[in-house]
Amino acid sequence: MKLIKVECIGPPGKRNYKKRFTVECPVCLSIVTRRGWSCLTAKSCGCVSNAAVKHGMAQKHPLYRVWHGMRGRCLSTGNPSFKHYGGRGITICPEWEDFKVFYDWAISAGWLPELFLDREDNDGNYTPDNCRFVTVLKSNRNKSNTITEAQAVAIHGLLDAGHPIHAIARILNIPRYTITNIKRRLCWLKEELCPT
C-alpha cells in the first residue's frame, strides 16, 4: 500500500497517541484510512479478498472447504500435509484457481457431502481428469502408504487372535495408525476381504 499521509490521534502532549494512516490501494487505486502499521505491508485494501467471494459461497458451502484444503496441501508450506502434496510436486490445474470453476466441476462429478476428493493416480496432479469423489474407504485404499489385501487379511487374523496393535505393527512392519483404522472399520473391511 502506498502511504499518502499519517495523522496523530489523541490529546496533545500524551505519549500514548495513535496514528491514522491514509494509503492508496495498489490494486483498485482507492484511498483508504487505516489505524495500524500493518496497512503499510498489506497487498490490497480488501478488494482482492472481496473478489474471491463474488460467487457468494465462500466459507459457507462445504465444497469451499474441500477446495481450500486442496490448495493448502499443494501451495502452503506451513500446511502439515504440504510435504506429501506440494512438497513432492503435486499441483492444481490453473482453471481450479477459481472456486466457481471447481464447484461446477464437483457438482457435475457427483459430489455429495459424505464423499471425499480423491486423485485416481496418487502421483498425479489435481485435475478434472485425475480427480473423483469417493467414500472414505476407497480413499484410504488409494494412499501412497496403502497396504496390500494379503497384509489386510493378516492384520484381521492377528486382531481376531487378540494380538495388540503395537505387536502387529512390529511383526508386519506397518504403521500403528493403519492397523487402528482397520480395527475401527475405516478401511479393509473383513467382509470385503473374506466374503462368507
- Grid coordinates representing 36 are 495500524
pTM of the model: 0.50
Average pLDDT over residues 100-124: 90
Contact in structure between 110 and 133 (CB atoms under 8 Å) = yes
Average pLDDT over residues 37-60: 62
Longest dimension (CA), the chain: 87
Residue 47 has pLDDT above 70, yes or no: no
Which DSSP symbol is given to 97? G
Beta strands in the chain (DSSP E): 2-9, 18-24, 31-34, 116-119, 131-134
pLDDT in tens, 117-170: 988 888 899 999 999 998 776 666 655 556 777 888 889 999 999 999 999 988
Query: What percentage of residues in the chain have a pLDDT greater than 70?
Result: 79
Query: What is the pLDDT, as a whole number, of residue 15?
Result: 62
Residue with cell 499518502: 4
Contact in structure between 27 and 48 (CB atoms under 8 Å) = yes
Q: Confidence class of residue 32 from pLDDT cuts 50, 70 and 90? A: confident
Contact in structure between 97 and 79 (CB atoms under 8 Å) = no
Query: What is the pLDDT, as a whole number, of residue 3?
Result: 75
| 3-state DSSP assignment of residue 117 | strand
Look at the chain and count its residues: 196
- Taking the C-alpha atoms of residue 30 and residue 26, their distance in angstroms, rounded to an integer, is 8
- Taking the C-alpha atoms of residue 190 and residue 160, their distance in angstroms, rounded to an integer, is 11
